[in-house]
């Protein structure tokens, strides 16, 4: 693949990531006030952290990607969809880790 083809593929992929995240926000979080609402609801239901919920969802896609790489091409969701969803989950995890680190900095600053 040539550089320009890869660049176009990256731009299309990033556009698809944004579209998928926006759709997921509406369907799962149901609010713009808390982008992690669905992870927190599930975490509360089963007694784990929101990050562990996210990891579970991510691992489902990782398992499908692994099957694809190992030769299983016929799947309910194609590998591109799994890649897009994985990127979205990783970005959400980035948001969770950022939010947690900011909270830690605030608590540390308030309570020396």
Angstrom distance (rounded) from CA 110 to CA 65: 44
Full-model pTM: 0.83
Provide the residue range defining the domain that includes 10.
3-110
In this predicted model, which residue has the larger pLDDT, 104 or 37? Answer: 37
Q: How many domains does the chain have?
A: 1
What integer pLDDT is reported at residue 39 of this predicted model? 95
Which helix (H) or strand (E) segment is 63 a member of? helix 50-69
- Report residue 40 as tokens: 């927190």
**For residue 62, what are the CA distances in angstroms to 11, 22, 25, 47, 95?**
22, 21, 21, 23, 20
pLDDT at 105 over 90: no
* C-beta neighbour count of 43 within 10 angstroms: 17
Please state the φ and ψ torsions of residue 78, each to the nearest 5 degrees.
Answer: -70, 165
């Amino acid at each position: 693949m040539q550089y320009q083809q890869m660049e176009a593929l990256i731009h299309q992929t990033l556009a698809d990531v944004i579209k998928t995240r926006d759709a997921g926000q509406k369907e799962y979080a149901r609010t713009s006030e808390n982008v992690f609402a669905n992870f927190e609801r599930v975490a509360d239901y089963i007694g784990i952290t929101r990050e562990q919920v996210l990891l579970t969802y991510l691992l489902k896609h990782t398992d499908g990607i692994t099957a694809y790489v190992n030769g299983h091409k016929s799947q309910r969701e194609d590998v591109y969809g799994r890649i897009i969803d994985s990127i979205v989950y990783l970005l959400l995890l980035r948001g969770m880790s950022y939010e947690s680190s900011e909270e830690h900095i605030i608590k540390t600053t308030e309570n020396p």
